[in-house]
Amino acid sequence: MANSGNGRIIEYDHSDLVELNSRLSSWIIGLGDELQEMEVDKMSMTSYYEPYINKPLQCKCSMTNWDLAVRNEDAKFITALVGDYVDRDFSPREHKDKEVETWGVSYTEGESIDWHCHGKPQGGSDYSFCYYPKVPEGSANLLFKDIHSDIKHWETNHDYYTGLQNGFPDYPMYYECTPEEGKLIVWDAEIMHAVPPNKPNGRCAFIGNIILTKKR
């Protein structure tokens, strides 16, 4: 186990899961692109996003539907591991249960994922994770920038999204994960992350969000 130094990003080694990696990567790559491209009104620059139907604009690679842990036992196993790690190694707020959404991405040469986050202010997740079942030599790293502490200082959401489109150039890299087959990385969902243009074909990842449900 390795972490970023403050416990907000933690890596785990599961390189022993060789057969699982082979099955899971073949399945994700075989599914390819399952989501519709998001439509954008060029006059108003408004995007039309319907969860579980459209692919997020930041995703510039193949992406499956958002239900892999329901459809695949290997994905379900990795997701269960993440839940255990969150309870053991992070400091989750008191909660009743963990809801999850999970999907897969695969890359050909030049494909990427732009800066985004899965928690506030873009989403409602508490933790996110990425598991690498297939990593060809020369695959792109997973990059992180922590800009969340300054969100409250921006006057409008427009200021934030302008910075987002530019990749938050004034903020240094917070953490950089080198993908390896069997590596699992878990992080606080509010941390911004991106994958720069990938070089080899066949880079593959299983990704998910953890949402903590309130106790009643």
Domain ranges of the chain: 2-213
**Cβ contact 106:28 at 8 Å:** yes
CATH homologous superfamily of 2-213 equals q2cbj1_9rhob like domain (2.60.120.620)
The mean of the pLDDT values for the chain is 89
Average pLDDT for 29-45 = 80
**Nearest Cα to Cα of residue 68 among 36, 116, 118, 30:** 30
Is the predicted pLDDT of residue 80 greater than 80, yes or no? yes
**Nearest Cα to Cα of residue 210 among 113, 151, 146, 124:** 124
Average pLDDT for 81-108 = 96
Q: Strands 46-48, 62-63: parallel, antiparallel or unpaired by DSSP?
A: unpaired
Express each pLDDT in 129-170 by its tens digit. Answer: 999 999 999 999 999 998 766 655 666 666 677 777 777 777
Give dist(CA 7, CA 4) in Å, integer: 6
